[in-house]
Amino acid sequence: MTDYDYDLFVIGSGPAGQRAAIQAAKLGKRVAVAEQKAVVGGACINTGTIPSKTLREAALYLSGYRERGVYGASYTVKEKITMADLHYRTDYVIKNEIDVTRHQLQRNKVDLLTARAAFAGPHTVRLDFSDGSGVREVTTDRTVISVGTVPYCPSGIPFDRQRVFTSDDILALDTLPRTLAVIGAGVIGCEYATIFASLGVRVTVIDKRTRLLPFVDGEITDALAYHMRQNRVTLRLGEEVASIELLDTDQGERVRVKLASGKHIMMGAVLCCTGRTGATEWLDLGAAGVAVNNRGGIDVNEHYQTSVPHIYAVGDVVGFPSLASTSMEQGRLAACHAFGVKTNSSPALFPYGIYTIPEISFVGRSEEELTEAGIPYEVGKAAYREIARGQILGDSTGLLKLIFHMETRELLGVSILGEGASELVHIGQAVLALGGKIDYFVNTVFNYPTLAECYKTAAFDGVNRLC
């Protein structure tokens, strides 16, 4: 026992904070989590990951998108899809995930405090309780900051949450727009652009960069761009937004987007995905001596320590890759380091999942990275349309790509586009982690018919290229 109220105090109940708190509790530490909202789970459960992926699943089902490869482009489960239809499924999943998260914290005897937390000193946290019961201070030996991020809202844009909105506002929309401009072709922008397009919304994507998702294998993003255009998405890449205006016209309420190139785009609504900023405004980090970067985020070292060693930061607030899966691992690693527990982790082998339509997932290195490093490699590919399971699913767009060392035949990277990509990638992740070679897939028997067969087909394709 120490003179502190808690061994570890966690600010924020998202995936990173939750995992840090539970890890510390399992080590026998006294742990508390402060969450200013009445619901736990942070942006992941309430406005981000869970809502967007559930919205995607609802859109795919109600629009009949998955079945169109078999039954034709006109096939649909529900002809007139409303936001209420989409909310029904989303609300159910959110409620369940909140309950699961709260139960996990309670089961591990973590104190859950509904209060806004701010630093009053390096080892002191001031709590302003949301029920109006007052303010009190607690002391802590170590602290983990996992407050996440909020959408970055550039000045001069007339946000009204209905015609001009951010990704956090989507669940508050009353109606489904007929036309939509998405500003920003990052992960969030591409995901929502393809989701709305699957619902029949005419979507225009605007971004200053000349290609989508530059951290993803170029062949995969080229294929994604092709499929987005096939689904009537207009890509305005290399274009910069000059201004956005709300208009009342004879055709109703409209939004005019002016581009720096002189183009004018008239839309029913605008979704701004111009990045996110750390939700650190209320933390009074200066009182603890923690430095903040120019986007409100917190810089950390390889152990997730801030500029103050006993204060850690994890999750989206520390920046890329800002994934729920990596945030959970960061929380676990931070808690272990805080209490001197040795761990093993391989950040280079963290998988990435991007829930566009079609889905993208990858692990390991891309062609661009290997080319820059001067490593000789070869590629093997398998199209879903070559696989019986792909035909059964009606997915003719899917592609699995293996990259392996030309001389040692060691697997170097896996990239997948198509149905189930974020599940399928874990087979490649396991082989990468064990230092496996392309020959593993040649000699392995996969269930038939499954999408996993793509690994064998791609491996044969790659080996044949060596001849």
Residues forming a β-bridge with 266: 256
Q: Which two tokens stand for residue 366?
A: 């891309």
> Closest Cα partner for 216 from 348, 318, 360?
360
Q: What is the mean pLDDT of the chain?
A: 93
For residue range 67-77, list pLDDT tens digits in order.
887 888 778 88
Whether residue 341 has pLDDT greater than 60: yes
Put residue 374 in one of left, alpha, beta given phi > 0 → left and psi -120 to 50 → alpha: left
> For residues 23 and 249, which has the higher predicted lDDT (pLDDT)?
23
| Cβ atoms 155, 21 nearer than 8 A | no
* Cα→Cα distances 126→31, 40, 115, 144, Å: 16, 19, 9, 15
Give the whole-angstrom CA distance, residue 267 versus residue 412: 44
For residue range 271-309, list pLDDT tens digits in order.
999 989 999 999 999 999 999 998 889 999 999 999 999
Q: Mind listing the domains of the chain with CATH numbers?
A: 6-150+277-347 (3.50.50.60), 164-274 (3.50.50.60), 358-462 (3.30.390.30)
Whether residue 467 has pLDDT greater than 80: no
For residue range 21-38, list pLDDT tens digits in order.
999 999 999 999 999 988
- For position 295, what pLDDT does the model report? 83
pTM exceeding the 0.75 threshold for the entire prediction:
yes
Q: Which two tokens stand for residue 71?
A: 């039954």
